[in-house]
Amino acid sequence: MVIYGVGLLAFCFLVGQFIGESLGRFLGIEANVGGVGFSMILLMICADGLQKRGLLPVPTEQGILFWSTMYIPIIIAMSATQNVFAAFSQGFMALLVGILPTLLLFLCIPVIIKLLSK
C-alpha cells in the first residue's frame, strides 16, 4: 500500500533528523548537521534491502516515489537555508564542517569519472 511507503519515508526522516541533531551536539554546534542527507541514505538502504528481499510491493514503492518527488526537495531546500543561517551564527567550526566535505567531494569527481570510464 502507498501508506507503507509514506511510513517508511517518515521513519527514515525522523531517524535521519535524530542523527543530524546528535551529530550537531557532538560537534558542539547548535544545528542539525546532515539530517536530511542521513535520511536519504537510510531511505535508499531500506528501500533497496526491501526490494532485494521482495518485500517492497509496487504500491509501497509508489508511495516512496510520490513523496520523494514532492516532499523531499522542499525539505532539502528548507534545511539548506536553516543550516546556512545556523552555520554563520555558530562560527568557524560549523562553516568548516560544511565547506571541507563539499570541497573534498568536488575533488573526488574526476577520480570517480576515471574509475567509471575504464
- CA-wise closest residue to 63 among 76, 77, 50, 78: 50
Residue 69 reports pLDDT greater than 80: no
**Domain segments of the chain: what residues?**
2-117
Q: Is the pLDDT of residue 14 over 70?
A: yes
pLDDT of residue 80 exceeding 90, the answer is: no
pLDDT: is 88 or 105 the higher one?
A: 105
Separation CA 87–CA 12 (nearest Å): 24
Instruction: State the pLDDT at residue 22.
Output: 93
**With a threshold of 0.85, does the pTM exceed it?**
no
Residue-level pLDDT at 101:
84
In the numeric block, the cell 538502504 is attached to 45
